[in-house]
Amino acid sequence: MLEGHTESVFVQLKRPTHLDDVKAAWREFGSDLAGLALPSAPQHLIAIREDPYRPQVRLDRDEEGGMTTVVGRLREDPALPNGIKYILVSHNTRMGAAKGAILVGEYLIKKGHIV
């Protein structure tokens, strides 16, 4: 069975932003999880592919056990003011449901919201 979502995303930002700054924000996203030692947490919540033909479901859905969203094909989108567009792949039954729910539970316990 092939499980994974591919999305084509178009975003309008508040201000002009260099694509390298977008990539830096993606790389930093979720870095605060590293210090929490959550058993289900991947090392990176977002992985970036520079290959113009990636991400692809068959090649990228299992990144870090299916817990990492893979993005690529980032480019400016002149159709929107300050627009960017990109493709992402995420595993829909791991991070999207089963293991993703476990990760949320681990986080809530570690932060003291659930005892």
> Looking at residue 35, what is its pLDDT?
83
| CATH number, residue 34 | 3.30.360.10
Q: Whole domain around residue 57: which residue ranges?
A: 5-110
- The pLDDT of residue 2 is above 80: no
In angstroms, what CA-CA distances link 68 with 34, 72, 112? 14, 13, 25
In angstroms, what CA-CA distances link 59 with 51, 56, 75, 91, 95? 12, 5, 21, 11, 16
Residue 115 falls within a domain, yes or no? no
Residue 93 falls within a domain, yes or no? yes
Q: What percent of the chain has pLDDT over 70?
A: 99
The three-class DSSP label of residue 73 is strand
Task: Tell me the whole-structure pTM to 2 decimals.
Answer: 0.88
Number of domains observed in the structure of the chain: 1
> Looking at residue 32, what is its pLDDT?
82
The three-class DSSP label of residue 42 is coil
Quote the CA–CA distance of 40 and 51 in Å, as a whole number: 28
Read off the pLDDT band of 38 (50, 70, 90). Answer: very high
- The pLDDT of residue 1 is above 70: no
